[in-house]
Amino acid sequence: MNGWMRIGLVSRALCGLLAVGMLLMTGCSRLPAVTLDQLMEDVNAAHQAVDNDGLKKKFIRRKPVDESGELIDNGGTYFKAIADLEDFDRNRMLTREQMVEDVIYLFDALYAGYGNYDQMGGQAAFDAAEQAILEECQQYDSLNTLDFFKLLIPRFSFVKDAHFRIQGQKTNPDWYPFYFREMTFYEANGQYIAENHKTVASVDGYEDLTQLFKRSISSEGEIVYYPVVLQDGTACEETLTVHYTDGSTQVLQCEPFDYGEQFENVDQEAIPEVCYDSGIPVARINAMQGDTTGDWYEGFQESAKELGASRVSILDLRFNGGGNGEMALQWLKDYAKTVVPSNALFVSAFSGAQRSTARDLWVSNDNLLVILTSKCTASAAEWLIDAAYNLENVLVVGDNTSGAMVGSMAYIQLKNSKLIIGIGTMENIIPDTNDYFEEFRGFCPDLWVPADEAEELAVKLLEQNAR
């Protein structure tokens, strides 16, 4: 009888799974290791501690008015369906007058239809950006549309909304994780001890070691620590100089950020289905589609029910770039057999209609749900993680997520340049306590591992703790 079969003999999921503590033997001495039950105590406490009180007070209802003081129709005249968007020609030449016309049109559209207009600084911030762009346009008799785009994008860095895009480009860079795994570390009494039994005294450039050393999973499936650094962009040349208490020094090299082939050509239309990895049910959902009919939705529902009936399971959101946020909440409802509320407030900026059940409610769950994440995990997929923080025994494993939750997506198109601007009417308010979430950085996982290794290492962790 293997470890996973033995789990079925106990009344609660974690009893058999978490009963055995781990100690790594190195030579004749032992290094301190963390058991999965100890980890889950910490994780549950951290998730439950997220404070979402007062979010409604931060909501600013949008009431744009025209020159006569009459309410504008939520920017409806500016938005276009995807099918109606015209092709963008980067070589199209624009006169100064055409550029000015596009700029004025853009800022009128933002005032009328952008849900986060007030949250991003309101009229003062946007008027300042408009004036700066108009002044820059006066320097040119003509520009091609590509150069016009390059003129626009830097002026919107104050917009911290990953859904806000000009011709597909975000206004701020994403933050990517870089791992330093040449040496494995353990934590004891606030100190980090290398696998060679040396204790870390300091690391150049990092005063707070707890911000540098992240809980992770070793290749053997043990809970360990590695340095992880977040940087904007996918290239990292940083090294870490580690000083030990015995006076020795070690220089660690970062691993390149590369998701590899499994992240290429992902089928966003794939019907969710449950597969098994070493006896553990794994459901991969590549998108949060809005259609509640047909094979996709049936697979979506069945995956939640099957994982909900499993003592230990894995939900793979590494390839999920979003879609319909309410589907994310539906999956958790089907999994837990009850409503799991969100922490964030998802609300229409114009109507005030709330699209989530944001409240402080902890939902009990005897099973263990592992959620896999990557920098591709975005938007509606992050809605699911946001709500999953209110569900007991949820463990997030992988990279930090995309960080695209404060807005939504709709489209306007400038008249002359044909530049496509992505904005939305949603005003999503995220708890700002305990370093919970940050736009462009996303959610930080409970266990940091490179996303392309997340399933393999999560399975090893579970197997290690089922022995």
Q: How far apart are CA 127 and CA 133, in angstroms?
A: 10
Give the helix/strand (H/E) hosting 142.
Answer: strand 142-144
In percent, the amount of the chain with pLDDT more than 90 equals: 81
- Whether the per-residue pLDDT at 6 is higher than 80: the answer is no
Q: Whole-number mean pLDDT of the chain? A: 91
Amino acid at 266: V
pLDDT level of residue 81 (50, 70, 90 thresholds): very high
User: Domains in the chain and their CATH numbers?
Assistant: 47-58+265-464 (3.90.226.10), 89-169 (no CATH), 181-254 (no CATH)
Query: Region 414-441: what's the mean pLDDT?
Result: 94
Which pTM does this prediction carry? 0.91
Q: Rounded to an integer, what distance in angstroms lies between the CA atom of residue 257 and that of residue 11?
A: 42
Q: What number is the average pLDDT over the span 387-408?
A: 97
Model confidence at 3: pLDDT above 90: no
Residue 108 pLDDT greater than 50, yes or no: yes
Which range (7-16, 257-266, 336-345, 405-414) has the least confidence?
7-16
pLDDT at 264: 86
Query: Which amino acid, one-letter code, is at 235?
Result: A
- pLDDT tens across 162-194, in order? 999 999 999 999 999 999 999 999 999 999 999
pLDDT digits (tens, 9 = 90+) for 329-384: 999 999 999 999 999 999 999 999 988 888 889 999 999 999 999 999 999 999 99
> How far apart are the C-alpha atoms of 324 and 293, rounded to whole Å?
14
pLDDT value of position 29? 53
Say how far apart CA 307 and CA 283 lie, in whole Å: 8
Least confidently predicted of 223-232, 357-366, 384-393: 357-366
Q: Which residue type is seen at 328?
A: A
| Averaged pLDDT for residues 63-85 | 88
